[in-house]
């Protein structure tokens, strides 16, 4: 699919008067449209609920938009729970899907009456001894082995640290029932960033059959099945986006085939999508500040992996548009780099782009999820601001950029550091 930018050259020049690049920009209208399409695709299920994976884009302004669209939140840490609490999420609006969980995080989840999604069999005792088990609880399943769709190996659950084995689930449900649990959820996250409409229906088939088996073997009352995240987006322009309506219908087919005949037609379907909800609706707007000609041609940007770590961490592809040069031929080969003292700080390697000059704006696409949030402060680099293009066309600053003072704020070393002058 052709990649378009949220802002054109004239808009970026205008915005730069107030908010210099680099900045992250999010598109409110597109976020809302997509959230509505998701809701519509699963409207056949009475209890359907999306729990946005907060870790993807932990910004209260973004969470508020999704809250207005009827989404809950999926949290995995104390601060994500606190952020959700501040926005008024409570109880069944919050899914707490954590792993290697400290007791204080379970305590916080319990205080908010969030759904607790247990990652491991041993956490049953951990929870019981610490704060007791709630009336409703969810358990995370790991099928092990490799996960295939058709002839493609999609992911490798056998190597993943998450979840219960099937035997542990059967045993765990029984144990939890003895401890007083009345209602159960079942969760699994097997493959990440799937492009193609088969993943959710296939996963649903696996979880629905497992739910029937669990009900038969343990007598547990299963009230929801959480398909988690993993519905992906096409990062490269040669791929087509998933069709959420087709995905929703595929899950419905499995539901009617497996759950309804087993007397489980009242089960609510939950999702915990992050990437699908936000990735295409955020972009990182940067400027070329250097060019370097050695054994390769380098374009140096006024940002680095602190604003977008996926390329450095996974070699992930993010499409790049040079603003104002959208229609020029891509006849120059560049490595597009950030400023970290790390050779993996490259947003693109051997990328064919139009001829770039110092001062050109480069837009990195699909950074709306796992973009800002994954960034770090290596080299003492400071993270850029986040802006929102609102539905009325105006721009709102939804998180200011970090300053040196933020970076030094965790030291109690000397006042000079705290009060030191700096120029933006
Ligand atoms: C990260 C995560 C998600 C969201 O994953 P996406 O790939 O962004 O959809 C959902 N659930 C859990 C438990 C996660 O860890």
- How many Å lie between the centroid of ligand 1 and the Cα of residue 175? 27
CA distance 122 to 143: 18
Q: Using alpha carbons, list the distances in angstroms from residue 395 to 23, 367, 387, 389.
A: 12, 18, 7, 5
**Average pLDDT score over residue span 404-414:** 88
Nearest-CA residue for atom 5 of ligand 1: 229
CA distance 166 to 104: 28
Nearest-CA residue for atom 3 of ligand 1: 229
Q: E strands, 295-406, where?
A: 297-301, 320-322, 332-337, 346-353, 361-364, 386-389, 395-399
pLDDT tens digits for range 322-351: 999 999 999 999 999 999 999 999 999 999
| pLDDT exceeds 90 at position 319 | yes
- State both tokens at 251: 């899950």
**Average pLDDT score over residue span 373-394:** 97
| pLDDT exceeds 90 at position 321 | yes
| pLDDT exceeds 90 at position 150 | no
The DSSP 8-state label assigned to residue 164 in this structure reads B
CA distance 379 to 274: 28
pLDDT band at 154 (very low <50, low <70, confident <90, very high): confident
Q: At what angle do helices 78-86 and 60-68 cross, to 10 degrees?
A: 60
Contact assessment for residue 375 and residue 383, using Cβ atoms and an 8 Å cutoff: yes
- Return the HEC string of 68-97: HCCCEEEECCHHHHHHHHHCCCCHHHEEEE
Q: Is 230 in the pocket of ligand 1 (CB under 6 A)?
A: yes
Q: What is the separation, in whole angstroms, between the first and last Cα of the chain? A: 38
**Average pLDDT score over residue span 29-49:** 98
Beta strands at 23-27 and 282-293: parallel, antiparallel or unpaired = antiparallel
Q: Is 273 in the pocket of ligand 1 (CB under 6 A)?
A: yes
pLDDT of residue 413: 81
Q: Is 77 in the pocket of ligand 1 (CB under 6 A)?
A: no
Q: Is 187 in the pocket of ligand 1 (CB under 6 A)?
A: no
Phi, psi (5° rounding) for residue 197? Answer: -95, 10
pLDDT tens digits for range 91-138: 999 999 999 999 999 999 999 999 999 999 999 999 999 999 999 999
Phi, psi (5° rounding) for residue 388? Answer: -120, 125
Which ligand 1 atom sits nearest the alpha carbon of residue 276?
Answer: 9
pLDDT tens digits for range 46-84: 999 999 999 999 999 999 999 999 999 999 999 999 999
- How many Å lie between the centroid of ligand 1 and the Cα of residue 331? 37
The DSSP 8-state label assigned to residue 283 in this structure reads E
**Average pLDDT score over residue span 257-274:** 98
Close Cβ partners of 303 (under 8 Å, ≥ 6 residues apart): 22, 284, 286, 338, 339, 384
The alpha helices in 238-339, defined as continuous H runs, are: 244-254, 275-278, 310-314
| pLDDT exceeds 90 at position 88 | yes
Q: Is 38 in the pocket of ligand 1 (CB under 6 A)?
A: no
Contact assessment for residue 96 and residue 89, using Cβ atoms and an 8 Å cutoff: no
Q: Is 242 in the pocket of ligand 1 (CB under 6 A)?
A: no
pLDDT tens digits for range 202-240: 999 999 999 999 999 999 999 999 999 999 999 999 999
Q: What does pTM read for this prediction?
A: 0.97
- State both tokens at 245: 């309506």
Q: Is 192 in the pocket of ligand 1 (CB under 6 A)?
A: yes
Q: Is 284 in the pocket of ligand 1 (CB under 6 A)?
A: no
């Amino acid at each position: 699919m052709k990649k378009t930018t949220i802002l054109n050259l004239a808009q970026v020049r205008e915005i730069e008067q107030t908010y210099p690049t680099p900045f992250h920009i999010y598109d409110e209208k597109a976020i809302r449209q997509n959230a509505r399409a998701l809701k519509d695709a699963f409207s056949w299920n009475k209890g359907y609920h999306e729990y946005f994976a907060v870790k993807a884009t932990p910004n209260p302004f973004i969470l508020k938009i999704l809250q207005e669209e009827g989404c809950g939140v999926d949290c995995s840490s104390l601060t994500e729970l606190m952020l959700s609490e501040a926005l008024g999420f409570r109880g069944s609006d919050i899914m707490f899907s954590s792993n290697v969980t400290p007791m204080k995080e379970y305590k916080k989840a319990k205080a908010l009456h969030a759904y607790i999604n247990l990652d491991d069999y041993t956490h049953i005792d951990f929870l019981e001894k610490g704060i007791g088990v709630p009336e409703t609880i969810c358990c995370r399943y790991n099928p092990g082995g490799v996960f295939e769709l058709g002839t493609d190996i999609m992911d490798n659950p056998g190597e993943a640290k998450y979840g219960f084995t099937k035997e542990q689930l059967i045993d765990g449900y029984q144990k939890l029932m003895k401890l007083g649990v009345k209602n159960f959820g079942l969760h699994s996250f097997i493959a990440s960033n799937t492009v193609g409409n088969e993943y959710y229906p296939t996963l649903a088939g696996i979880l629905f059959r497992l739910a029937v088996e669990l009900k038969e073997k343990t007598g547990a009352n299963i009230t929801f099945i959480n398909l988690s995240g993993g519905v992906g987006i096409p990062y490269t322009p040669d791929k087509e986006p998933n069709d959420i309506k087709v995905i929703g219908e595929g899950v419905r087919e499995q539901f009617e085939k497996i759950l309804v005949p087993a007397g489980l037609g009242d089960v609510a379907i939950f999702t915990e999508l992050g990437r699908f909800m936000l990735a295409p609706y955020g972009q990182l707007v940067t400027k070329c500040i250097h060019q370097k000609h050695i054994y390769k041609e380098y374009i140096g940007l006024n940002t680095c992996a602190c604003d977008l770590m996926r390329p450095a961490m996974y070699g992930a592809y993010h499409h790049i548009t040079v603003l104002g040069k959208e229609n020029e031929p891509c006849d120059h080969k560049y490595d597009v780099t950030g400023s970290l003292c790390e050779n993996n700080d490259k947003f693109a390697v051997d990328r064919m782009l139009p001829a770039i000059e110092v001062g050109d704006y480069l837009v990195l696409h699909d950074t709306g999820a796992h973009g800002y949030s994954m960034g770090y402060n290596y080299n003492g680099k400071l993270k850029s601001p986040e802006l929102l293009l609102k539905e009325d066309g105006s721009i709102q600053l939804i998180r200011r950029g970090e300053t040196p003072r933020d970076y030094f704020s965790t030291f109690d070393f000397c006042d000079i550091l705290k009060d030191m002058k700096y120029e933006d």
